A and B are shown apart, each in its own frame.
Chain A
Amino acid sequence: MSVIYLLISISIVVAILFCVAFIRAVKTGQYDDDYTPSVRMLFDDELKKKENNHNNTN
């Protein structure tokens, strides 16, 4: 049963890694603006489609 020491240690290490990842994400400003990116990701497609149309008409 002493394997539980190992397993729990691993799980704690994984949890700490996630916590550190979260803090780094906050530090780099990923949580500063939570609205614009959600709109921005929809734009790229539209822009490409339009450029294709443009090429077609040329």
Chain B
Amino acid sequence: MNTQNCYHCGLGYTDKEEIVFDDKSFCCYGCKTVYEIFTLNGLTDYYSFEKTPGATPKDTNGKYDFLDNEEIVYRLLEFHEQETHIVSLYIPHIHCSSCIWILENLNKINIGVSSSQVNFHNKKVRIVFNPEKTTLKEIVHLLCKIGYEPYISLDNYEQKKKKVNRELIYKLGVAFFCFGNVMLLSFPEYFEMEEYWLDNYKSFFRWLIFGLSLPSFLYAASGYYSSAWKSLKTGMLNIDVPIALGIIVMFVRSTVDIIFDYGQGFFDSLTGLVFFMLLGRFFQQKTYNFLSFERDFKSYFPIAVTKILPDRSEVSVPVYDVAAGDRLLIRNQELIPVDGILISDNTAIDYSFVTGEADPITKKSGDKLFAGGKQTGKIIEMEVLSSVSQSYLTQLWSNDIFIKKDRQDYKTITDTISRFFTPLLLITALVSLLYWLFIDVTTAFNVFTAVLIVACPCALALSAPFTLGNILRIMGNKKLYLKNATVVEQMAKVDTIVFDKTGTITTSKKSDIFYEGNGLTEEEILMVKNILRGSNHPLSRRLYDFLPNAAIILVDDFDEITGKGIKGHIDGNLIKIGSADFVGVSKVQTLQTAVYISINKVYKGKYVFANSYRNGLKPLLENLSKRYELKILSGDNEGEREMLKQLVPPGTLCVFNQKPEQKLAFIESLQKEGKNVMMIGDGLNDAGALAQSNIGISISEDINVFSPACDGILDASKFESINYFLKLSKNAVKTIKMSFGISLLYNAFGLSAAIAGKLTPLTAAIVMPLSTITIISFVTVMSNYYARKKA
């Protein structure tokens, strides 16, 4: 056992914080409690599947009170009968086999739960419980207590019973059934043996093959017909047009062949083709489903809020039922769901969600509160000004840009090629038809159909999905998660990169802290540290971690004035830590974030928090500036301009004091100049800009927690690899182009045989699958080769 890491969650801790229980060491009481719960219920096997699988439980007092509201509970339930309720909960922490095990053994801890089942890929647990023995709220509390806090939001609330679309799997099954049997029955004809029994039963075999290919032709391939029809109607020739044409011509020609006894037809190639193409589509869908993460802003808002009735009693109401004039109660760390006016005294609101500024803003009674802020002080009361849908954030998010997400205007590389390919193919077919018409009418029609059959661009259609799917997987392994394959293609076209400053090129986790002012003695630092111990303010926590470890001294009269600072007595000395006015310094016009300190009413100095930039930022920017135009946007003030200037390559434009709308407008103006813009940001405050840009990548310190609507999510630890990812996307497009070349070679070979009138069903049956397999293996090998190359 590792003595330095918590037995439950694996976090490191210092000796002083260590809590020993049952011979195991824990980093905090939370983790110890979870362990106790598991031991009491005989579930210690939790720790034997994976080492340190747990998460520290968070305080959830009152957070789930809305689950007392029956209406909300009924909406969340998947199924409810008298004694059986079923609910599916999304739990972001699910990550290993221990998680599956403990969640499927919930019935051991709570007898009301009759069974629970985990879907690992969706990170969902489906719990069946008896409402007479337990409630949803109890279950949710239990989950929180063992460190598996479920994620409940408006998304769940609006959830309609989603039908799982399994059509593609049915089609794939049917296509394989047809393909296998047709191949088997076609075999005798491949050898063209002049045997008596073969001749005798030829028509039986052929009609049987015809019958077997019908489901494949009519059902399995139906998606291609509708797609081709749609694209014809809009006047755009996509790749499905020649495919659908090829399939139909193949079927008609083969049917004519067997009716007039010309030959065996191409049913084997037809069914094989349909099967392989559906297989490609299936693979594509699997990759995309796995990567689908897009959520809308509603995921961030609490589903219910506490309303104060005129008689001062409190009720939980769904957030959509909140109307102007209502009074709401907002607890510490809760989001403010709507615009409103602060009724309680003072508070501090953390708007990092909206503006990117990490430092909470102090609000006085009567001040306006904007939706999206996080309350960081003691419980407050607010009066609602507008209902949810009219709020500021909603306005930002209901901006047109989020609606046109499907990007109708963008043409994929395959579509571009097929716009040339399809007319070319038709012309070739018609020319050869005309040529042969002068020589031999029967051959002419054979040639015409043969051209359309052999040129059916199945390899062409498969190469892009396979390459891009593979690249998506490779990037996923390296912690860049893209929304779909089109993003890779667009990434290859990027020429301008815009970075957001806060949280993107700076890290929000650790800040450099330095001291300015009269030197503090060791004793004084000791006192400061002990005062800080009692405070939960983010800056206090950061400063507390920064100061050297110290002995614990008893603090008298500790008081935290929210939004101002903290004070306390140690050995008769009055120590005040906090904002400038709180400490009694006249407020100097400064752009820094600082904490002021006074001892016995004498101002001592201040701790200044500087933003700290991500590792490897400078070389990354330098490398990028060789091939891309770089810009930096910031919602912050100009305090960091000088510092930033040293980091960025000369000529990089840095713009400060940008509001979310301005960031969006900035991107828009770049695009009007004809630039392909990639925006790298961190969250909601630049979400508009992320969506407006051609590619929006959000940097995330914690993938499970944060995922706004953007094109990709990059794990913060891989920030330095941006250059590598850009290069990889370029190589991916190169691979696709090369595979198009190979596929055209096959087509040229097949076509020359077809035009010469020498295409036999056997050649078709060999050439067509062969080309498909060559292309798929080529792109897989090439994309893996490029992935291994260093940036």
Contacts and interface: CB of A to CB of B under 8 A. Distances in A.
Interface in B150-204: 164, 166, 169-170, 173-174, 177, 180-181, 185, 197, 200-201, 204
Given A36-B100, A40-B100, A47-B45, A19 B121 contact: no
Interface in B40-93: 42, 44-45, 48-49
B593 interface: no
Given A33-B121, A47-B105, A23 B170 contact: yes
Contacts of A43: 97, 100-101, 104
B424 interface: no
Contacts of A31: 166, 169
A33 B119 contact: yes
A6 to B, nearest CB: 12
Given A23-B170, A27-B166, A32-B164, A46 B48 contact: yes
A36 B120 contact: yes
Contacts of B169: 26, 31
A29 to B, nearest CB: 7
A40 B163 CA distance: 25
A39 B100 contact: yes
Contacts of A26: 166, 169-170, 173
Contact of B121 (A4, A35, A42): A35
Contacts of B208: 8, 12
B118 interface: yes
Contacts of B185: 8
Count chain B CB atoms within 10 A of each CB in A16, A32, A35, A39 and give the residue with the most. A39
Contacts, number: 69
Contacts of B122: 33
A7 B42 CA distance: 59
Nearest to A29: B164
A46 B104 CA distance: 13
Contacts of B42: 50-51, 54
Contacts of A4: 197, 201, 204
A15 B174 CA distance: 11
B275 to A, nearest CB: 13
Contact of B197 (A1, A8, A15, A39): A1
Contacts of A8: 185, 208
Nearest to B211: A12
Contacts of A29: 164
A13 to B, nearest CB: 11
A50 to B, nearest CB: 6
A36 B45 contact: no
B181 A12 contact: yes
Contacts of A15: 177, 180-181
B173 A23 contact: yes
A5 B203 CA distance: 12
Contacts of A18: 177
A40 B103 CA distance: 11
B128 to A, nearest CB: 15
Contacts of B49: 46
A4 to B, nearest CB: 6
Contacts of A12: 181, 208, 212
B97 A39 contact: yes
A32 B166 CA distance: 9
A43 B120 CA distance: 15
A46 B45 contact: yes
Nearest to B48: A46
Contacts of A51: 42
B173 A22 contact: yes
A41 B703 CA distance: 29
A35 B204 CA distance: 44
A39 B476 CA distance: 23
Contacts of B48: 46
A36 B204 contact: no
Contacts of B173: 19, 22-23, 26
B183 to A, nearest CB: 12
Contacts of A33: 119-122
A51 B42 CA distance: 8
A51 to B, nearest CB: 7
Given A33-B119, A33-B120, A39-B97, A19 B164 contact: no
Interface in B726-776: none
Nearest to A12: B181
A18 B180 CA distance: 12
Contact of B174 (A5, A19, A32, A40): A19
A50 B120 contact: no
A39 B102 CA distance: 12
Contacts of B104: 40, 43
A19 B216 CA distance: 13
A23 B122 CA distance: 23
B292 to A, nearest CB: 15
A35 B120 contact: yes
B465 to A, nearest CB: 20
Count chain B CB atoms within 10 A of each CB in A18, A27, A31, A40 and give the residue with the most. A40
Interface in B203-228: 204, 208, 212
Nearest to B94: A36
Contacts of B181: 12, 15
Nearest to B197: A1
Contacts of B45: 46-47, 50
10 contacts: A15-B180, A15-B181, A32-B119, A33-B121, A35-B121, A40-B118, A42-B97, A43-B97, A46-B49, A54-B42
Interface of B: 42, 44-45, 48-49, 97, 100-101, 104-105, 117-122, 164, 166, 169-170, 173-174, 177, 180-181, 185, 197, 200-201, 204, 208, 212
